Structure 1
Amino acid sequence: MSERDLRERIAMHGQSLFDRGFTCGSSGNISVRLPDGILVTPTNVCLGRLDPDRISKVKWDGTLVAGDKPSKEAVLHLSMYRSREKDDAIVHLHSTYSVAVSCLPDIDSANVLPALTAYYVMRVGTLPMLPYFPPGDQKLAAEVERAALDARAVLLANHGPIVAATDLDKAVYATEELEETAKLYLLLRDRSPRCLTDEQCRDLHERFPS
């Protein structure tokens, strides 16, 4: 896609996510990889009202090239891209159910959500949770870069998920699947749900390699 097409697609997905309640206010950010940097949504802008021409263009060193001032969390995107060389898009939301799970005291930080559905396993897989840091903190960026070496999605404690994929459509779909699985988990966690076995998960990864 051309840069113009990517700008319009970011705006389209931002509005769709906002209209369906996956994010609120000016929270959340979306980015796509370019040869010389990234496009990332601007700071303090509602994803439901993005102007394609004002989406930030940032070099790999964080320098703003075009558009409005980037999200303070652009540093998370840049860090994740460094570890996810084959991924060209990232979505970070403060989506309700995922954030709710990130606030629970008794979850496995190595892999937060169980394998409840095939599509969660295929689109997200392992979901580690990182400790809490203030938004935009460089220490959090370093933690994201480390965790992303082994996982396409990470959950930030008391904050929300950040998800990478090979293109923007897939990053959005994976983020939506993560949010729906977090909702299922909260509905079922006290009822000992039947999860997919390790063997069933391996079979899915063999049938549908990422």
Structure 2
Amino acid sequence: MKTPWSDEEEAARESLVRWGRSLFERGLTPGSSGNMSVKLADGFLVTPTNSCLGFLDLDRLSKLDPAGRHVAGDAPTKELPLHFAFYEARPSARAVVHLHATYSTALSCLADVDPADAIPPITPYVVMRVGRVPVLPYTRPGSPDVAPLIRAKAPAHPAILLGNHGPVVAGTSLEAAVFAMEELEETARLTILTRGMAVRHLGQQEIADLEATFQLKG
């Protein structure tokens, strides 16, 4: 039976359901936490408010028009301000993923992390796929106050930690955003596991080479 969606929208709906289930089943975002969005030619698809990413329904995903008005499906996540701020600041962004992943959320709660870069360069892959990860001051979940904070950082940073809240990652596709989120979470895990140890970080020359080779364009 033919769906009312374009091929692009149907593929995006299927990707949101598939990746949402994968993230949930691997324990990367518990309960009804986390939200995702995809930018379409005619608007946006967003996970609904209070939905569990492991049990998303193709037909109930929130559809928004290009101006961000809700036009179909269930009511969208309350975190729309952070999603739209990324799309505004990063023209290449086609998807945004926000999770409450354990280790990266833990880093967002620590008072002694570097607010300019919470993820130290301990592997080449975090530099290649994520880059430097700033920590924003705390804002209430869903508050529009987060938008200008993200717009100030997102042009140079595809990944951000929301203070005492968790990670947000933008990508050129949903798959790219998920892969970068997974790399961020795994490196946050390594960072916490090695706290207090004599860790060997990548040097500035090595970082510069990676950044020049794998440019994270805005």
TM category (shorter chain) comes to: over 0.9
1:29–1:91 contact (8 Å) kept in structure 2: yes
| 2:215 matches 1:209 | yes
Measured after TM superposition, the shift of residue 35 of structure 1 is 2.2
Structure 1: 5+ residue stretches without partners: none
Q: 1:196 aligns with which of 184, 193, 202?
A: 202
| 2:75 matches 1:64 | no
Runs of 4+ in 1 over 3 A off after TM superposition: none
Measured against aligned partners, the alpha-carbon deviations of 1:121-148 in whole angstroms (never above 9, x if no partner) come to 0000010000001101011122112211
CA RMSD of aligned residues (A): 1.1
Measured against aligned partners, the alpha-carbon deviations of 1:31-52 in whole angstroms (never above 9, x if no partner) come to 1111232111000010000001
1:7-86 to structure 2, matched below 5 A, reads: 7-86=13-92
2:81–2:146 contact (8 Å) kept in structure 1: no
| Code of the aligned partner of 1:92 | H
Measured after TM superposition, the shift of residue 61 of structure 1 is 3.2
Tell me which residue corresponds to 1:144.
Answer: 150
2:86–2:93 contact (8 Å) kept in structure 1: no
**Count of aligned positions:** 210
Structure 2: 5+ residue stretches without partners: 1-6
Measured after TM superposition, the shift of residue 69 of structure 1 is 0.2
SS at match of 1:209: coil
Tell me which residue corresponds to 2:119.
Answer: 113
Tell me which residue corresponds to 2:176.
Answer: 170
| Code of the aligned partner of 2:78 | K
Measured after TM superposition, the shift of residue 175 of structure 1 is 0.2
SS at match of 2:189: helix
Tell me which residue corresponds to 1:179.
Answer: 185
